[in-house]
Amino acid sequence: MNEQVLSLAESLKDRARATLGQRNLVLVGLMGVGKSSIGRPLAQELGIPFVDTDVEIERVSRMTITELFAAYGELEFRALEARVLKRLLEGGPRVVSTGGGAFINATTRQHIKSGSLSVWLKADLGVLWDRVNKHDERPLLKTENPKQTLEDLMNARYPIYGEADLTVLSRNVGKDIIVKEILAAIVEGKTAEGRMP
């Protein structure tokens, strides 16, 4: 890589970090879009900590997400998720990966909107299904027709995810490409939905 390209990459990272300031960068979107797998290298690029709300919920509850859903139901899980996320957002800046339903909860969404920059990682059904179909730990997909359930979740949730500050298209490309698109979207203050590598 030549010096000019390297300095452009550095300046994008630096400009994104400066634009973010003391705000948290919160990744929202459906299961399988890559909030955690993109969040880690994104945090590294920005030089700030990364936290996954699902991991934090499991740590404080000493139960897995699946166990929490089974024992308490989705409503109680969402209340716990809102409390944990509110606490996490009080310390920043950091990159925060949320569970798929977090932004759907009006209380949680308000916590995110006040003082954080939100990025919706958006993906089409084919990409999501290819990713989530490989794992069996998704409580909301334990249905007779999980692909239809996933499509129903998309139809119900996409308009709400659309309230995020920025939108970046998650697709089957290298994580570094998505990370760069998020950094560019932060700097430009607009979506990177139409960008292709």
Which residue type does 159 have?
Answer: P
Q: Which residues are annotated as a binding site for ATP?
A: 32-37, 138
Nearest of 124, 94, 128 to residue 112 by alpha carbon: 94
Residues at the annotated binding site? Answer: 32-37, 54, 78, 100, 138, 157
d(CA 132, CA 98): 16
Straight-line distance from the first to the last Cα atom of the chain, in angstroms, rounded to the nearest whole number:
17
* CA 82-96-101 angle, 5° bins: 45
CB atoms < 10 A from the CB of 16, how many? 22
Backbone angles phi, psi at 145, to 5 degrees: -130, 80
- Residue ranges of the annotated binding site for substrate are 54, 78, 100, 157
